[in-house]
């Protein structure tokens, strides 16, 4: 199971960035309708097979969001 509500997470991150989905779409070079479709599609953002494998191993999936500028200071980042 994915513990995050990806639709809400993306909307919150848009608000934090002062952006609407249309702005995000323009930045990515795609249509706002496509952004909306991907956000609302249940299996569109995370691979269903990956989630099933992790569940089979006894894990739920929880995503963590890290601003790009903070990635170099992340102790879990091995320089990849």
Residue 76 lies in a domain: no
Domain containing residue 13: 6-64
Residue 38 lies in a domain: yes
Residue 25 lies in a domain: yes
Position 78 scores a pLDDT of 57
Residue 11 lies in a domain: yes
pTM: 0.68
Residue 1 lies in a domain: no
Burial of residue 58 (number of CB atoms within 10 Å: 0-12, 13-18, 19+):
exposed
Q: Is the pLDDT of residue 60 over 80?
A: yes
The number of distinct structural domains making up the chain is 1
**pLDDT tens track for 1-48:** 888 888 889 889 999 999 999 999 999 999 999 999 888 876 667 778
Position 25 scores a pLDDT of 95
Position 65 scores a pLDDT of 92
Residues 6+ apart with CB under 8 A from 28: 35
Residue 71 lies in a domain: no
């Amino acid at each position: 199971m994915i513990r995050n509500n990806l639709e809400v997470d993306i909307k919150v991150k848009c608000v934090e960035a002062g952006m609407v989905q249309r702005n995000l779409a323009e930045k990515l070079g795609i249509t706002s309708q496509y952004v909306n479709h991907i956000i609302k599609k249940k299996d569109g953002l995370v691979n269903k097979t990956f989630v099933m494998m992790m569940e089979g191993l006894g894990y739920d999936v929880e995503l963590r969001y890290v601003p790009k500028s903070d990635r170099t200071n992340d102790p879990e980042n091995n320089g990849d």
